[in-house]
Amino acid sequence: MKINCSMYETILETKNSSPTNNALLFTGKYVDYQTLITEIDDFANGLHDLGIKSGDTVTMAMPNIFESIYAFYAVNKIGALSHLVHPLTPVNQMERFMAKTGSNTLIIVDTFFNHYKDLIKNPHIKLILANPTRTMGFVKKFGYKLINRAKLKNIKYGNQVLSYSKMLGKEEFHDTSKINAKKTSVYLHSGGTSGEPKTIELSNFAINSLASNTAHILGETNFKNKHMLAVLPLFHGFGLCMGTHAMLCFGGVDTLMPKFDALETIKLLKTNQVNYVIGVPSLFENLIGKHEIRGAHLKNLHQAFVGGDYVALDLKHRFDRLMKEFGSKARLLEGYGLTEVVTVCSVNTLKEHLQTSVGKPLPGLNMEIVSMEDRKFLERGKDGEIVVSGDTMMNGYLENKSHPKDNPFLIDSNKKKWVLTGDFGFIDAEGFVHFKQRLKRIIKVSGMPVLPSEIENLVMNFNEIKEVAAIGVPDQEKGSMIKLYIVVHPNAVAEMLEKRIKEAIRLELSVYALPKEIIYMDELPKTMIGKTDTRKLESMG
**pLDDT value at 403 more than 80:** no
B/e letters for 476-489, b = 16+ CB within 10 Å, e = fewer, are eeeebbbbbbbbbe
The percentage of the chain sitting over the pLDDT mark of 90, rounded to a whole number, equals 79
Q: How many CA atoms are closer than 13 Å to the CA of 218, on its beta-carbon side?
A: 25
Confidence of residue 375 (pLDDT cuts 50, 70, 90): very high
Angle at 25 between CA 280 and CA 62, to 5 degrees: 60
What type of residue sits at position 176?
Answer: T
Residue 444 is predicted with a pLDDT of 79
Over residues 209-233, mean pLDDT: 97
Query: Is domain 208-390+407-437 annotated with CATH 3.40.50.12780?
Result: yes
* DSSP string for residues in 37-81: HHHHHHHHHHHHHTT--TT-EEEEE--SSHHHHHHHHHHHHHTPE
Over residues 81-95, mean pLDDT: 92
Q: pLDDT tens-digit profile of 487-522?
A: 999 888 777 899 999 999 988 888 889 999 999 999
Residue 405 is predicted with a pLDDT of 60
**pLDDT value at 38 more than 70:** yes
Residue 214 is predicted with a pLDDT of 98
Q: Where are the domains positioned within the chain?
A: 25-189, 208-390+407-437, 443-540
Over residues 330-340, mean pLDDT: 95
433 and 361 in contact (C-beta within 8 Å)? yes
Instruction: Provide the H-helix boundaries in 84-164.
Output: 91-101, 113-116, 138-147, 149-152
Confidence of residue 404 (pLDDT cuts 50, 70, 90): low
Least confident range of 152-166, 348-362, 495-509:
495-509
Residue 196 is predicted with a pLDDT of 60
Give yes or no on whether 208-390+407-437 and 443-540 have one common fold: no
Residue 379 is predicted with a pLDDT of 97
322, containing H or E segment: helix 313-325
Over residues 451-472, mean pLDDT: 91
Cα distance between residue 273 and residue 246, in whole Å: 17
CATH number for the segment(s) 443-540: 3.30.300.30
Residue 88 is predicted with a pLDDT of 86
Angle at 49 between CA 43 and CA 55, to 5 degrees: 85
Residue 122 is predicted with a pLDDT of 97
Confidence of residue 12 (pLDDT cuts 50, 70, 90): very high
Cα distance between residue 241 and residue 243, in whole Å: 6
Q: What is the mean pLDDT of the chain?
A: 93
Q: pLDDT tens-digit profile of 52-65?
A: 999 999 999 999 99
CA 167 to chain centre: 30
Confidence of residue 528 (pLDDT cuts 50, 70, 90): confident
Over residues 106-114, mean pLDDT: 97
* Partners of 129 in the β-ladder: 108, 163
Residue 465 is predicted with a pLDDT of 94
Over residues 399-413, mean pLDDT: 78
* DSSP string for residues in 418-445: EEEEEEEEEE-TTS-EEEEEEGGG-EEE
**pLDDT value at 195 more than 60:** no
Residue 499 is predicted with a pLDDT of 92
**pLDDT value at 176 more than 70:** no
Over residues 98-123, mean pLDDT: 97
Residue 509 is predicted with a pLDDT of 85
Least confident range of 55-59, 357-361, 380-384, 471-475:
471-475
393 and 340 in contact (C-beta within 8 Å)? yes
* DSSP string for residues in 267-321: HHHHTT---EEEE-HHHHHHHHTSGGG-SGGGGG--EEEE-SS---HHHHHHHHH
Residue 447 is predicted with a pLDDT of 67
Residue 37 is predicted with a pLDDT of 98
CATH topology of domain 25-189: Rossmann fold (3.40.50)
**pLDDT value at 370 more than 80:** yes
240 and 344 in contact (C-beta within 8 Å)? no
Q: pLDDT tens-digit profile of 267-304?
A: 999 999 999 999 988 899 999 999 999 999 999 999 99
Least confident range of 64-68, 140-144, 477-481:
477-481
Bigger pLDDT: 236 vs 14 = 14
Residue 399 is predicted with a pLDDT of 84
- The pTM of the full predicted model, rounded to 2 decimals, is 0.87
Q: pLDDT tens-digit profile of 410-445?
A: 999 999 999 999 999 999 999 999 998 888 777 878
Residue 329 is predicted with a pLDDT of 97
Cα distance between residue 450 and residue 444, in whole Å: 6
